[in-house]
Copies of this chain bind each other. A is one copy, B any other.
Amino acid sequence: MEMSRLIEPRTLRGFRDYLPALMIPREHMLEKCRQVYRSYGYAPIDTPALEYLEILKGKGGEESDKLIYSFRDHGDREVALRFDLTVPFARFAAQHIGKLGTPFKRYHMGPVWRGENTGHGRYREFWQCDFDTIGTESNASDIEVVLVINDLMTALGFERIEIHLNNRLVLNGLLEEMGLAGQTAAVLRALDKLCKVGKDAVAAEMAEKAGVSRGQAERVLALAEMQGGNREILDHLRREFGTNPRAAEGINRLTELLDVATSVGIGEERIRLDLSIARGLDYYTGTIYETFLLDKPDIGSVCSGGRYDNLAGVYTKQRLPGVGASLGLDRLLAAMEEMNLVPSVATPAPVVIVQFSPEYLGEYQKMGRALRAEGIRVEVYPEAKKIGQQLQYAEKRGFNVALIAGADEFAQGMWKLKNLARREETAVPAAEVPAAVRRVLGMG
């Protein structure tokens, strides 16, 4: 083949390959998420990557629509790659809820595609891990979302986290009191920028977009910026807004949520009422969740969600209220890379069997099988290269143990077991190799 005809191997901008050292922790994280979701009875579903454009478009606003990858397929249908897992879930629910019945709890983990600006480490393909309960307005489901987020973060190895909670009903109650009930969306959109632009700019936007007076804006901002312990904030809210039935409902839901979280033993320091979080999305109507890593707050919320009144109104007349959240898996993984929390291990197997000579392949694979039967993952080196070369390979990839046997060892019924971290070598009778390896690997 002439060199000039080589195609340059490269990925599209905003897309990335996952090499083993990064894919191993990613699979580990996905598995942890699955375990946590399942442990609460959320059932897995999957939907196609490609949908009719009509199904996906117009659900997340104009800005989102611009980012959708869409095209005409072989049958000249207008199709698009899914932009998130929420819109496909709405379509899915409308289509299948008669068969599934309610309440319905699902999780869905998969890639989504957005033609984003690739600045600030943004990717155009990334995984989301969503979980939702639909078909019920019960606060039990709102409460459970916090328990799930707590367990998720623990399972993923993040102990220093803070789950921020709000309930939109409180603000809605206040706006209702002030005669601004119709302006909720505009007020929320302004409020969502509080952190970035400050109070004055928010008040100005509320005045311009929603006709909110200076005095009204101050009350809204005072609510959003309320500081203090969770119980303190609840007491304060009850005193200030408790007479409005809508606000009272929100306050009661937050109170019940905190009570249950405390009673099941979630540390108080992990949960924080934060009346400033609004999540610009219009469809949230009740509880709101955001989750921050205390050691990496700048990456923003890593698990967010909320309660919505109706999931699938564009596809069905059946009202489907629900609550859920979405874990930004790849964002979390990128954060872990930056925090040097990703170990540089490029093998899923901790044990390598060195190949002394191909004539013993049967013996090597027999030992491999014996180890696998005991739950120990093991690679048999494919070539009878120099032992030094094979050990070098093993160290570079991050193997923990090398097993070595040639003519002498087989004659004696022994194996050499090399602990690669400690550079210690011991001789072990063949039958005792699995137990010896388990000890070195700390498998008890």
Residues in A lying within 8 Å of B, measured CB to CB: 1, 3, 5-13, 15-20, 23-24, 26-27, 31, 34, 37-52, 54-55, 69, 71-75, 77, 79, 81, 91-92, 94-96, 99-101, 103, 105-106, 111, 113, 115, 124-125, 133, 136, 138-141, 143-144, 147, 151, 256, 259-260, 263-265, 312-317, 346-349, 352, 355, 358, 361-363, 365-366, 368-369, 372, 377-383, 393, 396
Contact = CB atoms under 8 A, between A and B. Distances in A.
Contacts of A313: 1
Given A10-B52, A12-B51, A38-B377, 16 more contacts: A3-B317, A7-B314, A9-B315, A20-B44, A38-B349, A40-B368, A71-B72, A103-B381, A103-B383, A141-B382, A144-B380, A256-B358, A259-B362, A263-B362, A263-B363, A264-B366
B348 A38 contact: yes
A265 B369 contact: yes
Given A140-B380, A264-B369, A372-B39, A48 B362 contact: no
Contacts of A125: 48-50
Contacts of A380: 40-41, 140, 144
Nearest to A106: B20
A7 B358 contact: no
Contact of A39 (B81, B115, B346, B377): B377
Nearest to A55: B7
Given A18-B46, A380-B144, A264 B362 contact: yes
B16 A382 contact: no
A24 B34 CA distance: 11
A50 to B, nearest CB: 6
A96 B17 contact: yes
A365 B9 contact: no
A377 B92 contact: no
B79 A17 contact: no
Contacts of A381: 103, 140
24 contacts: A5-B314, A9-B55, A10-B55, A10-B91, A12-B50, A12-B77, A15-B50, A17-B96, A19-B100, A26-B44, A27-B44, A38-B377, A39-B377, A39-B378, A40-B377, A136-B382, A140-B361, A141-B382, A144-B365, A147-B365, A151-B372, A259-B362, A263-B366, A265-B369
Given A125-B50, A264-B362, A19 B7 contact: no
Q: Is the interface of A mostly helix, strand, loop or mixed?
A: mixed
Nearest to A23: B44
A103 B382 contact: yes
Interface centre among A9, A13, A16, A27 (most CB of B within 10 A): A9
A283 to B, nearest CB: 14
B11 A43 contact: no
Most buried by B among A79, A96, A105, A355: A105
A151 B20 CA distance: 22
Contacts of A75: 13
B17 A358 contact: no
A147 B256 CA distance: 55
Contact of A7 (B54, B115, B140): B54
